Structure 1
């Protein structure tokens, strides 16, 4: 077994490795269930899971009303939670990642609670109302934040609701993939995001608020790709680590093999930072569509930047969207269309989010178990 300390979340003892949520459909029931079955925390990304369910896609094709699309997405999420729980065989935990920036975030929280998820992980905005949405439900609440100021704000707001997070994920915007917890691209290397600093300042906040230092596990995310990196995070005071991209390319990952190949084969010079339609900085692989978009970004901003558009999918997935709402400084493309193209392996037209660091197995595609063993520095007995 691992010599690292185990991670305890809401009374559940877990391996100290957390699989991050990745949409659209990249982390669904197969990946999350496989991670949980090994005794860790697996995460389903709640965004637009219809793409794993042909019958729901057909229903939406027959009736493209937004209400129909929303109901189908919630049904897909409920199905994925159930399938992941069955696959996990009662081990580990199954979490649902919900983006605060998504218009249907409250519906996804309710579906997660009603469908038996063990935890809700919320990022892409401050989850100040998450305790209200889950009142009376026995479910772990885990916000994703990037600096100690954000953590202090959430703690103070939640304390007024007589609730504390069951864990906190600290995501470093300079290393993570996908949407990043910083307002501007230029801020990503700011020293306030250094894990050791955030952890130390958060411990001081715990002291000020009268919270025991061991009460809320701090889980760091971004740039973790080896057993040595895991140990360095623990030395800085972390209670666990979260990874996204290394799990996305495992054999059990829910995306198309082309998706895994694009992420696994990307060199450092193939990865680029840009502004998403959410207004948040994002990190992805330089694929043909993204390079065309970035080449023409200024021209696109000049031409349609301040002009409101109809949502291309009819889903209106984001609460605020640069394309739909005509926000000039945001990105101008349909993120759901591009991420779903990536999920099905469309290399020419997809948006392939990825972290910046090299992957643990290089360009090789390996299993969830092998990844966990490498990170833990352990050879464990086969699961029963």
Structure 2
């Protein structure tokens, strides 16, 4: 679907496309092991905005991935850094050295020093904001845009749903563009968030099954087979071992995680292990389990991190088809709102 055929969308998400420098204000969320140069470049080449997942990459590998992505697309893309990653400081140095125009901070609340470093280098910084008070603080510190992600999303999630966050943020934050994420699987819902004032959206789960995605075929097939209710969050057994819930398709890996959590909890309660060490071990589980599923295709014991929008994953298809489907649905929905449908 070419831009000239679109009547309503170009205006509805103009703030987002102007900010990103793209045809569509549709970002692909950074998914560890999944959002690498092939998928990121494919999305950016088709008019969306790909985001490279820094994750726990060694800094030199991150620099290589940025170079590979630049070799495959001339269009804008972002780099997502996790503030709690062991090499985060080095990752910040890499994106500054490589002059990556768009940097995302995910994980814990970023320090003012790290925000200033990225901003001082002339890069645009996008942060995730789970609560409104933090959003206001980040805006004061110079953050250029925000992503609000509801707990329908895949991977590590917060406690509040996308629909509630959207009302809270979009009706109260006007200073910077706000992108909505979590549970988005159709163009029709994109239109609804745009009408509330969103600058654009971020999706992850639907892009996992893109032909251009390097994830193992068995990983993709698990997404095609799954229903929304199969993507469930993990539970925290006891407050003495705080754990951030992770949404994934239920499998043996879910049981493996629960067994590990129970074992570590007993050790913490018995004084055999510090709480912080146990929390690190839980995170290490996800890093290893995700790699086993995405790279090796172990869909039984690996981690199948997916959002509830897995309900809208019907088949493996090219990035262009996925974007065309979303854009067509959003345009048609906006036309109906304008009384044309």
Question: What range is the shorter-chain TM-score in?
Answer: 0.7 to 0.9
CA distance in 2, matches of 1:26, 1:365: 15
Partner of 2:38: 30
Q: Hey, what's the Cα distance between the residues in 2 that align with 1:258 and 1:368?
A: 19
Cα distance 1:77–1:301, how it changes in 2: closer, same or farther (>3 A)? same
Gaps of 5+ in 1: 50-72, 159-163, 207-215, 310-321, 380-384
Report the Cα offset of residue 259 of structure 1.
1.6
The answer for the alignment partner of 2:94 in structure 1 is 111
- Compute the displacement of 1:114 (Å): 1.9
Q: TM-score, normalised by structure 2?
A: 0.83
Alpha carbons of structure 1 residues 247 and 338: separation in structure 2 relative to 1, 3 Å:
same
Q: Provide the residue aligned with 1:56 in structure 2.
A: none
CA distance in 2, matches of 1:194, 1:240: 14
Residues 9 and 217, structure 1, Cα contact 8 Å, conserved in 2: no
Secondary structure (helix, strand or coil) at the match of 2:126 reads strand
Alignment of 1:96-107 (within 5 A): 96-107=79-90
When residues 250 and 149 of structure 1 are mapped into structure 2, their CA distance, relative to the original with a 3 A threshold, is same
Does 2:175 align with 1:195? no
Matches within 5 A, 1:176-255: 176-180=153-157, 182=158, 187-189=159-161, 193-203=164-174, 206=175, 216-255=176-215
> In 2, are the aligned partners of 1:145 and 1:169 still within 8 Å (CA)?
yes
User: For 1:31, what is the secondary structure of its paired residue?
Assistant: helix
CA distance in 2, matches of 1:168, 1:176: 16
Matches within 5 A, 1:98-177: 98-129=81-112, 130-156=114-140, 158=141, 164-173=142-151, 175-177=152-154
**If each structure's helix is expressed as a fraction of its own residues, which one has the higher value?**
2
1:168-214, Cα deviation, whole Å (9 max, x unpaired)? 111112x111111x3xxxx43598x43022211223xx4xxxxxxxx
Report deviation, 1:303.
Answer: 4.0
**1:233 and 1:251, CA in 2 relative to 1: closer, same or farther beyond 3 A?**
same
The CA RMSD measured in Å over matched residues stands at: 2.8
TM-score by length of 1: 0.74
Specify whether residues 326 and 307 from structure 1 end up closer, same or farther in structure 2 by C-alpha distance, changes over 3 A only. farther
Query: Of the candidates 254, 257, 261, which is equivalent to residue 293 of structure 1?
Result: 257
Cα shift at 1:229: 0.7
Contact persistence 1:122–1:144 (CA under 8 A): yes
1:15 maps to 24
Tell me, in whole angstroms, the C-alpha distance in 2 between the residues paired with 1:118 and 1:29.
16
- Matched position secondary structure for 1:97: strand
Partner deviation per Cα, 1:303-358 (whole Å, 9 max, x = no partner): 4565448xxxxxxxxxxxx6x61359x94762221121122111232112110124
Question: Displacement of 1:4 after TM fit?
Answer: 0.8
Pick from 4, 7, 10 the counterpart of residue 9 of structure 2.
4
- Where in structure 2 are there 5+ consecutive unaligned residues? 331-341
Partner of 1:334: 285
CA apart distance, 1:150 = 1.8
> Contact between 2:251 and 2:300, CA under 8 Å: does it hold in 1?
yes
Partner of 1:79: 64
Displacement of 1:140: 1.4
Aligned pairs, number: 315
Distance 2:20 2:203 in 1: 22
The structural deviation recorded for 1:26 is 1.0
Whether contact under 8 Å (1:304, 1:326) holds in the other structure is: yes
1:296 and 1:137, CA in 2 relative to 1: closer, same or farther beyond 3 A? closer
Local SS of the residue matching 1:134? helix
Check whether the contact 1:29–1:254 (CA below 8 A) recurs between aligned residues.
no
